[in-house]
Amino acid sequence: MTAAAALVAPAPPRSAGVPLALTASGGSLGLATSVGNAAVLRTANLAPGRSAEGTVTVRNTGTVAGALRASAANVRTSGGELAGSVAIELWDRTDPQRAALVYRGSLTGMQAVPLGNLAPQSGRVFRLRATVPATLDNRFQGSWVAFDLVWRAEAGAGASSPPACTPPLAAGDRRPPIVRLRLQSRSALRRGRPLTVWVRTDEPASGTVTAALTDGKRRLRLLGARGKRLRLRANRTVRLRIALGRRARSFVRSRLARRRAVGAVIAVSARDAAGNRRTVRGAIALGRLPRAALRAAQAEDFAICTPAASDRRPPALRVKLSGATSVARGRAPLLSVRADENARATLTATFSYGKRSVRITRPKPRRLQLQANRTRRVRLSLGKRWAAIARREARRGRTLTLRVWVTARDLAGNSRRARATLRWRPKRR
């Protein structure tokens, strides 16, 4: 389905479009818009720094769902640079309370923007906004630009889901800031002293710093799940000291006492005023740590951008517990968690023996960061008290049951809960 749009006077004649009709196995897919082949937006004498808006409703008139995409095609302009200067925003306003920005960028860069699935006999409302940059001079006076807004849908069950995030692009500025990161020597980590970090950018930006300790298997955060926020000025160095708490110092000492390698990974993400982002990572290692372990220590940080309001599907979650014999011996069982999208998970557990059941509200770890389609495996510690109870009840020949609930919440706030059960029974003599 094609609709036209014209900007800045005088407007050229719009091109006509034809309705889209696809045939799929089990049904048909059709698209129709509320404006037909008319222009979504049309304006004249638009001054620099001003915007024009237009609203269109796209409906699926068929009997099967389809993955909807939008593109700007057949761009015509009288001013050669005008097409690349105009800023385009496309908003999903199907839910007026939660409008979602699905595209922000240049007109020429608007190609096959994913808009999620469109159910049969349903519609989506989109708001198109075009802005003329305030920096344009008199050379562009009297210039015009026009383009066709093309809607496409792909039929089938494999249609893509809505974008999880808003692309951080702005017309005219697509260059992310240059970030320089410098770390202190390894002696501070060895002695358990605060780690010193120097951060510098070439333009004003808002930054986030995260830090973690790793031995190649375990990961211990230093600044919390959200890290520390920074305000970065252009060409000004910011010094940051990351203190090692009691738990972190014990983590380092225990690894060094066992002659195991341990490292600290620092990551800095800087975002400029146009929304462009760059992430830089640095590491300090005591001993030899694989590069893959250092990369994995910060792979889950910095969720890309703002979640789209159109995403209301909770993440698919799979949870598994193994190591029943370990529970009977008072050791930590192995927990495996997998989600189909990036999410944060919270753990709760109950431990049952005989006719008694006790809720464990703070198992270690209590929170997990899940990457899409990657299995996260952790040793679930229930504490010294429950380990002693498990060993005692196992010697008495009682059945031990461990249940773990995992609640995963994605970037859009959708949550899903799953349970895993581990049971140990004594051998009959």
- 3-state DSSP call for residue 295? helix
Lowest mean pLDDT among 197-201, 300-304, 421-425: 300-304
**Residue 22 scores a pLDDT above 50:** no
- 3-state DSSP call for residue 33? strand
Report in angstroms the alpha-carbon separations of 408 from 168, 206, 241, 346. 25, 28, 32, 7
Q: Report the alpha-carbon distance of residue 82 to residue 216 in Å, rounded.
A: 52
Q: Could you tell me which residues are beta bridge partners of residue 259?
A: none
**Residue 299 scores a pLDDT above 50:** no
Lowest mean pLDDT among 6-20, 104-118, 159-173: 6-20
Could you tell me where the beta strands, DSSP code E, fall in 25-99?
27-33, 39-42, 51-60, 66-77, 87-92
In percent, the amount of the chain with pLDDT more than 90 equals 5
Q: Report the alpha-carbon distance of residue 337 to residue 363 in Å, rounded.
A: 15
**What per-residue confidence (pLDDT) applies to 419?**
92
What is the CB neighbour count within 10 angstroms for residue 44?
12
User: Phi and psi at residue 49, in whole multiples of 5°?
Assistant: 90, -5
**What per-residue confidence (pLDDT) applies to 82?**
67
Give the position of tokens 């792909």.
154
**What per-residue confidence (pLDDT) applies to 131?**
79
Q: What's the pLDDT tens digit per position in 218-266?
A: 888 887 756 788 888 888 899 989 888 888 889 988 888 888 888 888 8
Contacts of residue 28, defined as CB under 8 A and 6 or more positions apart, other chains included, come to 21, 22, 62, 63, 64
Residues 155 and 300: beta-carbon distance below 8 Å? no
**Residue 14 scores a pLDDT above 50:** no
pLDDT band at 288 (very low <50, low <70, confident <90, very high): confident
**What per-residue confidence (pLDDT) applies to 159?**
40
**Residue 181 scores a pLDDT above 60:** yes
CA proximity to 115, closest of 148, 188, 66: 66
**Third-level CATH fold of 2-155:** Jelly Rolls (2.60.120)
Q: Is the pTM of this model over 0.75?
A: no
With the CA atoms of 390, 395, 399 and 402 taken in that order, what torsion angle do they form, in degrees rounded to the nearest 10?
Answer: 20
Residues 204 and 139: beta-carbon distance below 8 Å? no
- 3-state DSSP call for residue 237? coil
CA proximity to 380, closest of 358, 349, 410: 349
Tokens standing for 25?
Answer: 């196995």
Residues 102 and 305: beta-carbon distance below 8 Å? no
Contacts of residue 42, defined as CB under 8 A and 6 or more positions apart, other chains included, come to 5, 6, 7, 11, 54
Q: What is the DSSP letter of 192?
A: T
Q: What's the pLDDT tens digit per position in 314-340?
A: 888 999 998 888 888 888 888 999 988
**What per-residue confidence (pLDDT) applies to 15?**
30
Q: Could you tell me which residues are beta bridge partners of residue 179?
A: 201
**Residue 4 scores a pLDDT above 50:** no
b or e along 250-273 (b: 16 or more beta carbons within 10 Å of the residue's beta carbon)? ebbeebeeeeebbbbbbbbbbbbe
Lowest mean pLDDT among 124-128, 303-307, 350-354, 360-364: 303-307
Q: What's the pLDDT tens digit per position in 137-176?
A: 666 677 778 878 888 887 654 444 444 444 443 344 567 8
Cis peptide before 96 (omega within 30 of 0): no
Q: Report the alpha-carbon distance of residue 83 to residue 46 in Å, rounded.
A: 14
Q: Report the alpha-carbon distance of residue 386 to residue 363 in Å, rounded.
A: 11
Question: Could you state, in order of their start, the residue ranges of all structural domains in the chain?
Answer: 2-155, 179-296, 317-424
Which CATH number is 179-296 given?
Answer: 2.60.40.1400
Same fold, 179-296 and 317-424: yes
Edge-to-edge strands, sheet with 317-322: 317-322, 334-339, 376-379
**Third-level CATH fold of 317-424:** Immunoglobulin-like (2.60.40)
Report in angstroms the alpha-carbon separations of 319 from 399, 401, 403. 22, 16, 11
Residues 155 and 26: beta-carbon distance below 8 Å? no
Contacts of residue 296, defined as CB under 8 A and 6 or more positions apart, other chains included, come to 214, 219
Q: Report the alpha-carbon distance of residue 60 to residue 111 in Å, rounded.
A: 21
b or e along 384-394 (b: 16 or more beta carbons within 10 Å of the residue's beta carbon)? eebbebbbebb
